[in-house]
Amino acid sequence: LQEQIRQRDGWVREVQNLRKQIEELSQQREQLASTYDAGEHERISQQVELLQPAVRQAMAERQVWQDRLSRWQRESAQVRDTVKQIRAALEHLTKSLHAADAEMQQLPSGYDAALHEQLRKELADLQPAWDEALRLHAVAKRLDSLQARHGEVQAALQSAKEHLEQTRRKLQDLAYDEQEYQHVMSQFDQCESMLRDAETQVRVLQERVQQREAQVATLEEQWQRLQEHLRELHELQRAVRRDETVRNWLRSFADLLNGEVVPELQERAGELLNLLTDGRYTQLKITEEFEFTLYDEDRPKPIISGGEEDIVNLSLRLAMAEMICERSGQPLGLLVLDEVFGSLDADRRENTLQLLRRLRDRFEQIIIISHIEDIQAGADRCLRVEYNPNQHRSTVQEMGILQSVDILSEEPSLEVATSEAVSQGLGGLFEA
C-alpha cells in the first residue's frame, strides 16, 4: 500500500513537471511568433501573391516567344541557306546555258553522234541539280511569307519584353527584394517547423499527462476500494470481538446456569427415577454436557439396557418439565409423551402412570401416544386413530363411543398417501 502511494505521488509530480514543460514550450512559441512583424509580412505576402500570377504568365509567354523565335531563326537560317543554294544553282545553270549556246553556235552543221552522246551524259549529270533547283524554287516562293512571319514574331517578342519590363518596374515600385523575401520565408518556415515540433511535444506531453492522470485515477480508485476493505475489515474485527465477547458471556452464563440447574435437575431426576424403579435406582449423575451416569448402590453402571435408558430419559424429561413449570411461575397447559412405554415392563409402566397422575396439579392436560393397549385402563379417556388407505380418510374412535372425524377433507396426492401413511395407534388422556 505504501509503495502504491509513493508511486502515485511520483506520477503526480511527473504530471506537474510535464505541465511546466508545456507552459515553457507555449512561451517559446509566443516568443518566436513575436520576433517578426506579422502585419508587414502579411502585406508583402499578399502583394507577392497578387503579382505571382502576372510574373508566372509573363515568364511563360517569354519562354513561348523565345522558343518560337529560336525556331523561326533556325527556319530563317535554313531559308537563307536554301536561297543561297538556289542562286548558286541558277548562276551555274545560266553559265551552263550560255556555254551550251556558245558551243551550239560553234557546232558544225550536220549530226554528230559522238557529240550527242556527250551532251546526253552531261544532261544526265545535271538532272539532279535541276531537280534540286525545282525544289528550291518552290521554297523560294514561300520566302516572302516566312519573312512576314518573322516580322510578326519579332513584334510579339518585343511586346513580351515590354510586358516583362513593366512587370519588373511594378516589382521595383513595390520595393520587392527577392533575397529579403526568401529570408523572411525561410524564417517563417523555421517558425512553422518549430511550432509544429512544439505542438507535437505538447501533444506527447498531454498524452503522458492523460496517462498519468488515468493511472492516478486508477490508484485513487484502488485506494478507495482498499479503504472500504479496511473499513469492512475493521467492522468484521469489531464483530468478531463482539461475538467473542458474547460467546464468553454466554459460556460464563452457561457455566453459571449449569452450576445452578444441573444439581437441581440431577436431584429431581433421581427422585423420579427412584419412584419409577421402585427404589432400584436412586442416584443419577449428570455432567455439564448433560450426559448422565446411572448408579447402582453407589457404583456407576457403565452398561444399561434399552428399558433403563428409556426410564432415565423419561425421568430427565419429567424433571425438566417440573423445573420449567416452577420457574415460569404458572402451570403449563400441556404435556405430551410419545411412545415412552415401549421398552418398559408392566410394573414400570404402572409406576409411570401413577407418577403422571401425581403431576395433574402441574399440567392441565397430559397426552400419551402409544401402541400398548395395557395403558387404556389407567387413562381417563382413550382414543383410537385409524387410517383407511382406500378412502384416504382417518377416523378417531373413543372407546365405547364411535365418532368419525374427517382428518383429510381432500384426497391427497399419491406421493403423500404412500410416503406419509398413518399407523394404527391408541391414545390415552389424563384430564385435570
Report d(CA 174, CA 163) in Å as an integer: 17
Report d(CA 240, CA 252) in Å as an integer: 18
Instruction: Output the average pLDDT for the chain.
Output: 72
What is the β-pairing status of strands 381-388 and 283-286? Answer: unpaired
- Give 252's Cβ-side CA count (13 Å radius): 6
Give the rounded distance of the alpha carbon of 106 from its chain centre: 123
What is the β-pairing status of strands 393-398 and 363-370? Answer: unpaired
Grid look-up 379417556 returns: 381
Q: What confidence tier does 289 reach under pLDDT thresholds 50, 70, 90?
A: confident
pLDDT for residue 51 is more than 50? yes
Q: Where do the structural domains in the chain lie, given as residue ranges?
A: 2-104+119-205, 333-432
Q: What is the pLDDT of residues 155-200, one digit of tens each?
A: 777 777 777 777 777 666 666 566 776 777 787 778 778 878 877 8
Distance (Å) of CA 138 to CA 82, 85, 132: 11, 13, 10
Its pTM stands at: 0.35
Residues 379, 365: contact at Cβ < 8 Å? no
Residues 324, 268: contact at Cβ < 8 Å? no
Report d(CA 183, CA 36) in Å as an integer: 12
